[in-house]
Structure 1
Amino acid sequence: MTTPRRSLLAATALATLLPLAARAQTPSPLAELIVEKKVFEFRDYRTRGGAALANGRVGYQTAGTLNAAGDNAVLITHFFTGNSHAFGRYAAGEAPGYWDSIIGPGKPIDTDRFFVVSSDTLANLNARDARTTTTGPASVNPATGRPYAMDFPVVSIRDFVEVQKLLLESLGVKKLALVAGPSMGALQAIEWACAYPDWVARAMPVIGTGEVDAWLLGWLDVWEAPIRMDPNWRNGDYYAQGRQPPMAGLSEALRIVTLHSRDRGWAREFGRRPAEGQDPARRIGDRFAVEQWLEDAASARARVSDANSFLFLTRANQLFLNEYDSRDAALKQARARWLVLPSAGDRVFPVEYGHELAAALRELGQPVAMQELKGDLGHLEGVADVAQAGEAIRALLAG
């Protein structure tokens, strides 16, 4: 019999907003948190690579109240396929944010105590989703009146941080009690702690790494390869009327990401059974159940995603801590208290990356705690079941 947890994960994977991450969660006895999606606009931004971005927009949401000193803020930074919906619901009965289990009144990141902010990144993958606001390659270039496409400037994890800082300053934030996020969000949390040590009191990178080494560079290239191979991609020039976006390539790329982000235990429920009505032993075109599930989940996700944005995001990840000579040169700039949360079954950022990050921080004399997340979801333990580290998070914020 399928467990409720697995059934909920499978259903959520086919949803249109966060199919690769969030799972429907058991209703909390604590007060339900309703949040509003807002838009932050900025002008005349210069990227870390030196390019000019005349104007930009990112969506964000908040919960809690900023104190008079402006130093009780918590920034939540999202993962590769995510957006700002990290906590709360947009309306009663709607799906909760992906970290709703740990953010809210009375939860480990307590919105009765902290002012919590989460924002969409530049070049957000979900450019075609109505509840994501982002400036990226699918946005209109004011200089030409047409989508930027591949003329959009290269952006890095540091650029995400810089835009978040502009947003926080506009809200009156002076210091972050915590910056935390999973996966690509972990990279942003680390970059924040290194770039702005006077701002960041605590950092919680979840299912992340302290460096994107050559092996990870290669994996990110594998992720994006199907998009570049799709004839409809046209070197990124597919936005014109009458042209079809590279949906086959984007779906295949997302299928790779979907499987890569899970561990073997997740797939046990599928076994070796065929997809409904199919017989792979007799017909070469027929599918196994796990193959069909991955294809359906990826196709659903592709419908709200943009292929060029996928490519710009992989490059941003590749440029993590790019402005420093080494990982340790970056980390020694930080002055935060750290909680590192790797996943034991992670296939994207294998658990040794978390151990290496924690060891490097200890070697540099920085206070760090670490807890391995357990379970059969692999990389996604840090999104779907981060609540297992609830006590460690409370301890981090108590100090």
Structure 2
Amino acid sequence: MKLRLTVLALAAALLLPAVFPGQGPRAQEPVQKQVFEAGSYRTRGGGTIANTRVGYQTAGRLNEARDNAILITHFFSGNSHAFGRLGGPQGPVGYWDAIIGPGRAIDTDRYFVISSDTLVNLNVPDPNTVTTGPATLDSATGRPYGLTFPVVSMRDFVEVQKRLLDHLGVRRLALVAGGSMGALQAMEWAAAYPEMVARVMPVIAHDIDPWNLAWLDVWEAPIRMDPNWRQGDYYAQGRQPPLAGLAEALRIVTLQSRDRQWARGLGMRPAEGNDPARNLLDRFAIEKWLDDAATARARTSDANSFLYLVRANQLFFNEYDSPEAAFRRSQARWLVVPTANDRVFPIEGVREMVETLRRVGRPVAVAEVAGPLGHLNGVANMGPLSDRIRAFLAE
């Protein structure tokens, strides 16, 4: 039982809704989900979203100069709940609660902190996620968009966030920070609006390369192979969503986002009541854990949204001739945060990105996040970097 509880405590970020205890000198304040109506939006690819909506949350206050704002951009399976206790004093805490809040590294007594849901958010069945995407009703037909929803890119996420910041009166960002897919959004911000972004903190990511692009295709393949997917047309009453394909996709993501050290907690033992040495259908404990966790997560996710998110990641920096050309546009200071045992964005790719930033003359520093969780260290283990983040904001 003790081992089982330890393993379950490690479930986080890319698979299950992350709940991490807040750290810091003061109790975290409640935050409320708000909704931004962005209106009609023309995508970078030329499509039109008639009624664009995203959810967001804020903490702190915007100063008179309107330049103390910090934007937090979320990871692939995340939403805007990066900090604070959602809905009240007993609500769940945000995934980066260790570094965002009163008196924390990103101090909401000093900064106006904003975090928003992306378009095509994976968590669309969750009432605490507000997003326009393939599961949204198309006002022209009265039916969910499905695959008629326009393709969106990482830059589209940024453009909708820009509308939100304009609505909130933000003129300049003291920092844009995010983990994994959130880091990609932060980098897009630095290139798209260089005069607006003072600092960038990409965590557990580097620019997408062909290897990442191919892995993203591996992630989504099980959904396309599920007969219930029906080319994205599974929303009609009486049809079953492609839960088996989505669960398998999430199982792949989950394993890649963790490290060998995490897997040792489950060991080589069979699942309870199973004997793989005698029965080919019996399971090992780690196989069953991944199956159970991915199946549970699939029930709170949308398969089409998963596919659209994959494509948005594949279209990272697609408007520039090269990552170097994009980085050259930045005017920001950079703090890059990798983890040594990352299997999603390997640290050698981060080192190459840092060299590119230095080659184009960007001020860049590196602070490594440690822990046994692999890629997820950048979600669950950011607390020890508090002093470094605080110093970066003071530079």
TM superposition score category, shorter chain reference: over 0.9
Residue 236 of structure 2 corresponds to residue 240 of structure 1: yes
Q: What is the total number of aligned residue pairs between the two structures?
A: 394
- % identity of equivalent residues: 65
The aligned residue for residue 216 of structure 1 is 212
Q: Give the CA deviation at 1:374.
A: 1.7
1:132-281 equivalence runs, <5 A: 132-210=129-207, 212-281=208-277
1:183, 1:108 → 2: CA distance?
A: 20
Q: For the structure 1 residues 50 and 8, does the alpha-carbon distance in structure 2 shift closer, same or farther, using more than 3 Å as the test?
A: farther
2:19, 2:38 → 1: CA distance?
A: 33
1:212-361 equivalence runs, <5 A: 212-361=208-357
Q: For the structure 1 residues 110 and 178, does the alpha-carbon distance in structure 2 shift closer, same or farther, using more than 3 Å as the test?
A: same
Name the amino acid aligned to 1:159: D
Q: Give the CA deviation at 1:32.
A: 1.9
DSSP 3-state at the match of 1:62:
strand
CA contact (8 A) 1:175 1:200 kept: yes
2:138, 2:291 → 1: CA distance?
A: 33
Q: For the structure 1 residues 371 and 2, does the alpha-carbon distance in structure 2 shift closer, same or farther, using more than 3 Å as the test?
A: farther
Q: Give the CA deviation at 1:373.
A: 1.7
CA contact (8 A) 1:89 1:97 kept: yes
1:323, 1:18 → 2: CA distance?
A: 27
1:17-166 equivalence runs, <5 A: 19-20=15-16, 22-25=18-21, 28-90=24-86, 91-166=88-163
- For structure 2, which runs of at least 5 residues remain unmatched after alignment? none
2:2, 2:159 → 1: CA distance?
A: 44
In the superposition, the TM-score normalised over structure 1's length comes to 0.96
In the superposition, the TM-score normalised over structure 2's length comes to 0.97
CA contact (8 A) 1:9 1:24 kept: no
1:104, 1:171 → 2: CA distance?
A: 19
Q: For the structure 1 residues 139 and 204, does the alpha-carbon distance in structure 2 shift closer, same or farther, using more than 3 Å as the test?
A: same
CA contact (8 A) 1:21 1:380 kept: no
2:277, 2:121 → 1: CA distance?
A: 41
Name the amino acid aligned to 2:89: A
The aligned residue for residue 10 of structure 1 is 8
2:26, 2:6 → 1: CA distance?
A: 21
DSSP 3-state at the match of 1:343:
coil
1:335, 1:54 → 2: CA distance?
A: 34
1:393 maps to which of 389, 392, 395: 389
2:383, 2:152 → 1: CA distance?
A: 32
Q: Deviations over 1:257-283 (max 9, x none)?
A: 000100100111111111111111111
DSSP 3-state at the match of 2:71:
strand
Q: Give the CA deviation at 1:24.
A: 2.9
DSSP 3-state at the match of 1:61:
strand
- For structure 1, which runs of at least 5 residues remain unmatched after alignment? none
Q: Deviations over 1:116-145 (max 9, x none)?
A: 000000000001111100000000011111
